[in-house]
Structure 1
Amino acid sequence: MSEFSPFIVGLGGTTRPGSSSERLLRYALSAAEKQGARVQLFDGPSLNLPLYAPEDLSRADGAVALVEALRQADGVMIASPGYHGSISGLIKNALDYVEDMAKDENVYLDGKGVGLIACAYGWQATGSTLNALRSITHALRGWPTPLGVAINTAGQCLDPDGIPVDAAVRGQLEMLASQVIAFARWRKAGHVMTTPA
């Protein structure tokens, strides 16, 4: 019998294609693939969605695709730049669309492991951005992985191929992927509690 191959959805980046947060998320998703996961990336440009308005039930195709992928996901990875001490508006707006899952049988991100990556130009904003991501994950009933990755992008943190130049950062992103996958497999095997609706 083959091992369960979880579906991991990654969302992150900025409106600029190839941003540091996008490339670091790509690395983490690639690590998840190498560990047997199926992955789907929603990068910054694909997250450039209309401002979430709960009273307006019309949805852009990109918003529909994001919510449907999150419904199917066994685990999630989120990467945000730190803008003025918190997550970017782009990432927050994308996460606001999870409200469309409020009446689902599996509400929001309930019971899903969520790996978090915070990037900033300097260390100060990485901690507060990571904390904001954890708070949002809790509010959406997700389970933040024990490891959250904070990365200072002030220096050269990636090579031209998008590989982190620091072995410690590579190891952290690979461990983050391992934790999201392990949580999904534990849940599939019935070892993780789910919250009653």
Structure 2
Amino acid sequence: MSDALSASPASSQPLVVGIGGTIGGTSSTERALAIALEAAGEEGFRTRLFGGAEMGRLPLYDPKATTRTPEERDFVDTVRQASALIIASPGYHGSISGVVKNALDLLEETARDEVRPYLADMPVGLIATAYGWQATGSTIAALRSIVHALRGWPTPFAAAVNSQVTKFDDEGGANDPAVLEQLRMVGQQVARFAPLAIQHG
């Protein structure tokens, strides 16, 4: 998985953060996200992936909590450094998964940030995976609504992956070249729109 941020924390390269996956091992969603992040990395960006394991360590978001765990602080601080995001969610019952929603809820911590509250003016790429096509569309629609609510800019292209027919491998590939190209397009688009967010910051 791509995690160039920890390898070069002092780098002046802009950062793309990936959020997505499922609890219980590396999923198709997380593999799809890693491919998109790799494409952003090839455009000259640092990348960091918060997958299922990382999101699983985030407690349920409590807006009244007076302290945050180290994992919560790391997540929020990393998003604050980002010039772009890529969010990937499996389609659960026609919408995004609880673990992804919980991570996004934690961004309420940025509401009073002076430089950039929430995801203001940030490009955000979207990926939805589901076992069948029906849930991919509604999951992408839900992600777009959330990004709009957080004042971000969903990029024009979003990738829908039917995990019933698309299989990912441990080497970072998939059996469908068209899906690979779509995922790479998500990463390329956030990288190309990111300079707008950099100028804003």
- Tell me the TM-score normalised to structure 2 length: 0.89
Instruction: State which of 35, 38, 47 in structure 1 corresponds to 2:43.
Output: 35
Q: Structure 1 stretches of 5 or more lacking a match?
A: none
Offset at residue 57 of structure 1 (A) = 2.2
Q: Structure 2 stretches of 5 or more lacking a match?
A: 1-11
* Aligned mates of 1:133, 1:156 — CA distance in 2: 21
> Retained in 2: the 8 A contact 1:114–1:142?
yes
2:7 matched to which residue of 1? none
Q: Does 1:184 align with 2:190?
A: no
| 129-138 or 165-174, larger mean C-alpha shift | 165-174
* Aligned mates of 2:166, 2:118 — CA distance in 1: 36
1:146-168 alpha-carbon deviations (Å, 9 max, x no partner): 00111000134213323122111
Aligned positions of 1:66-145 closer than 5 A: 66-105=75-114, 106-145=116-155
Q: CA RMSD in A?
A: 1.3
SS in 2 for 1:116: strand
2:60 matched to which residue of 1? 51
Amino acid paired to 1:150: A
Instruction: State which of 8, 27, 49 in structure 1 corresponds to 2:16.
Output: 8
Offset at residue 170 of structure 1 (A) = 1.0
2:159 matched to which residue of 1? 149
Offset at residue 35 of structure 1 (A) = 1.7
* Aligned mates of 1:172, 1:80 — CA distance in 2: 16
1:6-65 alpha-carbon deviations (Å, 9 max, x no partner): 210001000022100011101111111112110011111100111101011221211111
1:129-161 alpha-carbon deviations (Å, 9 max, x no partner): 000000000000010000011100013421332
* Aligned mates of 2:45, 2:78 — CA distance in 1: 14
Q: Does 1:62 align with 2:71?
A: yes
* Aligned mates of 2:60, 2:170 — CA distance in 1: 33
> Retained in 2: the 8 A contact 1:6–1:181?
no
Q: Does 1:19 align with 2:19?
A: no
Which ranges of 4 or more aligned residues in structure 1 deviate by more than 6 Å? none
> Retained in 2: the 8 A contact 1:28–1:174?
yes
* Aligned mates of 1:65, 1:129 — CA distance in 2: 26
* Aligned mates of 1:186, 1:112 — CA distance in 2: 8
SS in 2 for 1:18: coil
SS in 1 for 2:125: strand
Identity of aligned residues (%): 51
> Retained in 2: the 8 A contact 1:86–1:132?
yes
* Aligned mates of 1:165, 1:32 — CA distance in 2: 21
> Retained in 2: the 8 A contact 1:87–1:132?
yes
